[in-house]
Amino acid sequence: MDKLKIGQYIAFLRKEQGLTQKELAEKLHISFQAVSKWENAESLPDTGLLLELCDILNTSADKLLHGGCVALSERRLLRLEDVIQGFQCMENIGKLFGENSTFYTGMVEGINQSMNLDLLTMLKDPRQREVLYAEVLIQGLLSGYRVDMEEIEAGLRNKKMVETIGKYRGKIE
């Protein structure tokens, strides 16, 4: 990672959003000196702040960590198998921590709010579950990942979802 390129990109995006270092810092609940250190290549943002920083600056983590450039040859493959396993892990959190645990309910409520859906209901219905898989794959494409259409065609039953993923893939690549 090139701290200088990352810092310059953060400064560029911050200014593009019309924010001062202090205003960006306040949104992230950190000091303006931390933002200054990023922009002067003295340090990098904590991973715990990365997604919120990207939301504020309207960019992806991949693009931010590459200093504004996503090299197509470096794009990671997002596999359907991994997406399916990710949802299984979410369900396992409920089993392991308890479905009434604050951690699990907070995770589910956060997803429901940010995506305007009912995660648990969708996970129970195989067709809706595939919609969730497709959503993750499309978000991955938009964030700089690549997908293997043969794997998706073989793994998803819903041909409309396969077609939609293919359209996004075609627009991006």
The pTM (predicted TM-score) of the whole model is 0.58
pLDDT at 62 (0 to 100): 78
Q: What are phi and psi of 146, to 5 degrees?
A: -120, 160
Mean of per-residue pLDDT scores for the chain: 90
Give the residue-averaged pLDDT of 49-67: 87
Contacts of 89 (CB under 8 A, 6+ apart): none
pLDDT tens for 88-143 read 999 999 999 999 999 999 999 999 998 899 999 999 999 999 999 999 999 888 88
Nearest to 11 by CA among 1, 3, 2, 21: 21
What domains does the chain contain, in order, with CATH numbers? 3-70 (1.10.260.40), 80-172 (no CATH)
